[in-house]
Amino acid sequence: MAHDLSYPPLNVPKQVADGVWIVDAAPVHAGGIPLPIRMTVLRLAGGELLLHSPIPYRPELQHALERLGRIGHLVAPSVGHWMFLKDWQAACPNAITWAVPGLEDRGQVRRSGVRIDAELGDRSPRVWANEIDQVLIAGPVFKEVALYHRATGSLLLTDLIINLEADLLPVLIRPLARVLGIVAPDGKAPLYLRLLLRTNRRAVADAARRLVAFEPERVIFTHGHWFERNATEELRRSLRWLLGSSAVGRDGLPPSRQKRGSPPTSTIVAGVALLGVVALLLGRRRKRR
């Protein structure tokens, strides 16, 4: 069942650190691949809640969150993580909606009626500058803003790492997920995203080094098994395609996996993968609402 891919209990806040909660939801289906989705909630020093990558709205979830604090900020941290904002905006009309640069200019966003109040960039806005650091990861089409919560050492990402557990995926989907590079324990940015970001490699590599330099205690992302332990090393491994030889062994693999080997890469395989992920992207835009 699709729900087996998620991490129950669903649609309830689960505390992972002081002032940090995650809320897992049922998967969305994108291009034939079921993706578990996750929202992260931060409680700021003033008591307001920041909802990072909101999941589908539910009144009971809103009430559970409001017992933790007032919902003050809705954050669309990447170009693909805005689809559920409209219902949250209706339920929390006083919350400020933040988004990555350029999101509000997209035709689909304008047609949806989603309101964008302010843009997030490489520097934190004054409202949380004393608590959260930001790093902008940008390439053609794609932008993501990572948030680092200093007090708890929590790094929040969306699509820069996807880490799906193979045994939870439908059997026929597993080969495509492996080609895309999004299968645990070696999950990373999917192939199409790595190709896009490599066109801006220097800036993106600098951003990756900044993320690792935080030495996070945990790395929480939207899709799949997040890094609860050895987070800095896991992050470095996932970003080795950007960080270079310092993150890998002599065989081009992380030290823990050098003996396991790797399937050959070819232009044909990459081409097939790209055809699949075009459908993934288009399907994601249609399905996530």
Q: Is the pLDDT of residue 204 over 80?
A: yes
| pLDDT score at 244 | 86
Q: What is the pLDDT of residues 5-64, one digit of tens each?
A: 899 999 999 999 999 999 999 999 876 789 999 999 999 999 999 999 999 999 999 999
With 0.75 as the threshold, say if the pTM is over it: yes
**What does the block give as tokens for 181?**
């590079």
Q: Is the pLDDT of residue 99 over 50?
A: yes
Min mean pLDDT across 77-81, 205-209, 245-249, 284-288 is at: 284-288
| pLDDT score at 281 | 42
Q: Which residues have CB under 8 Å from 259's CB, separation 6+?
A: none
* Spatial distance between the Cα atoms of 181 and 190, rounded to a whole number of angstroms: 6
* Spatial distance between the Cα atoms of 152 and 30, rounded to a whole number of angstroms: 32
Q: What is the pLDDT of residues 104-160, one digit of tens each?
A: 999 999 999 999 999 999 999 999 999 999 999 999 999 999 999 999 999 999 999
Vertex 18 angle, CA 162 and 93, to 5°: 75
Q: What residues are paired with 35 via a beta bridge?
A: 28
Min mean pLDDT across 77-86, 97-106, 183-192, 266-275 is at: 266-275
* Spatial distance between the Cα atoms of 56 and 288, rounded to a whole number of angstroms: 9
The total of other beta-carbon atoms located within 10 Å of residue 53's CB is 27
- Give the mean model confidence (pLDDT) for residues 63-80: 97
| pLDDT score at 3 | 52
Percent of residues, the chain, with pLDDT higher than 70:
83
Tell me the three state secondary structure of residue 116.
coil
Q: What is the pLDDT of residues 165-189, one digit of tens each?
A: 999 999 999 999 999 999 999 999 9
- Give the mean model confidence (pLDDT) for residues 60-85: 97
Rounded to a whole number of angstroms, the distance between the first and last alpha carbons of the chain is 21
Sign of the torsion formed by the C-alpha atoms of 283, 286, 287 and 289: positive
